[in-house]
Structure 1
Amino acid sequence: MDYEVEVQFQPINELMSSIHTFICKKSNKKIELGTSWAAEVSSGLSSGLLEALEETDLDNDWKLLNLLLYLCPVKETVESTLQWLESLSVGEMYETLAGHVSVFPVQMEQYRSKMFFLLSEWNRQYFSNCNPDITVRLQQHAEERRQTLNGSAVADFVNKTTNGFYFMQGEGLRRLVLIPQFHFQPINIIYNFGPLTLCHYAARIPALEEEIPPFMHRTLRSLGEKSRLKILKSLGGERKSFTEIAKQAGISKGIVHDHISSLRSAGLLNAYIEGENVTAYSLRLEGIQQMNDQLLAYLK
């Protein structure tokens, strides 16, 4: 029996993705916004907010915040979501999360206050000043995917939407929520809560109206390295673990990890996911076809 799939998007989702992108500085070189984005944003933030961001890790507390906001019943606007979060009592927070997790923040009231400050100040100082077209396009994208979902095979729909993910049911997955995001492109973010998985996936919306499609350009660049081509060829029609790929490639695991990350972001690999972990990869020929179609359209 297939798990259920839901495509959801509300402005608070992109606010969270934008904070995640800012905090995850190790990924600055991989995101489409580039390494300069975080520096530009930092220059417009208060010292208090910068300090709070520096003290925030993408750990279990952050993961629980994503779950809490998913469960929020009033997400039409960022403001309505923040008002709901601020009004929650400690008991209501426990009650809201208890159906999905058994481990909670040590100081729940302090946790709520910290996260409310982080989200509200980030919204005031950065997110509310973002180009509103980003949110509009993400909403349109989510609606298009919802319409496509009707009548589609679940696994194929998810793979196409996420640009190469297959979510396995080995962890008892029952509901997969797909949430398009812009800031952290081309990387996807996954949070698993047993039967529930939230996947913030790269919607492949360009940062600017560029003449050369960024998705096509990224795929072409990812193929401009012999070791990556060898990895793709070694996969063929097989499914292999990271260890198997690294062993066959004969190069360091760190370099293989970078190659796989590049190929995955370009949509050239299928990634098989259990919980939050990728257990295997396989060649994704659809990614090559998409690149060919885009390249031919561009050249014409």
Structure 2
Amino acid sequence: MPTPDQLFTYSAPPTPGLAGRFLEPPFSVLDRRQGRWQDRRRQWDAIGLHSETGRSPELVHDYSATMRVKSRSSDAGTSIFDPALAELIIAWWSREGDQILDPFAGGSVRGVVSSCMGRRYTGVDLSADQVKANRRQADLGSPDMPPQWICGDSADIDALLDDAVEADLIMTCPPYGDLERYSDDPADLSTMGWEDFQTAYRTILSTTVERLRQDRFVAVVVSDIKDRDGAYRGLPALTSDALTAAGCRIVTDAVILDPLGSKQMMCERPFKANRTLTRVHQNLIVGVKGDRHVATARLDAAQHDPIAS
């Protein structure tokens, strides 16, 4: 299992230039296809992450349309958050000892990576089976700071968390509409129509941001989704608007380029049918609650942070 120090050194020769200083060049395009990115992902996979555990094989409604970040194919055909992306978000917008809060904590990746990097992680998920599966992987993290998962509805997060839990970073990835249906629970966003989804999603982001300390960041990985007629719904725009309404300012964003994989074979049919381009990217939306300069100075003040130096 990697230690916090090993996360920034690895066993491979140091990467020169910007990637060596920041893990990845701090540009608005994050390329998961690059060899150095894949190397980092493989190191995380090697510790035994199985984030798909706890999900039903019948989860995916339309696998060809699923756009969530994947680190590798899963036997269940479900999406897996890329641990190298989690590592990057944690390194860039938090520091050791920070509390990370995740209101959509399906899968174990973000919790385990946070723990390995010396952060305290609390994730909330509606599925009891998913929370149990996540907890079985808690020992992949640091024994000094094990990840914590709570079963419940993030719309009522205050009833689930101790009053003392305040976040230094919100890091999450919401359900992409009903592309993957996680349960039959009516409180599950993946079961909702679009209007109800928007209302519940705004509520969850708002209640979670209330738990975010002043002068701290929030990072959401999201992609757009389509309605039944093939028109985009605007999920990234909804995310930015909901965070703004919750008291954050959107201060930066990035396009995440996904590995092409089977999409190279899947792209021909929709293009010939209606000139639809196959989506091979997602969005990272970063906001700040309070003053971005104060928030950045707090991170730079961490002398143990190699990025600050």
Normalising to structure 1: TM-score of the pair? 0.22
Rg (Cα) greater in structure: 1
The structure whose RCO (Cα within 8 Å, separation 6+) is larger is 1
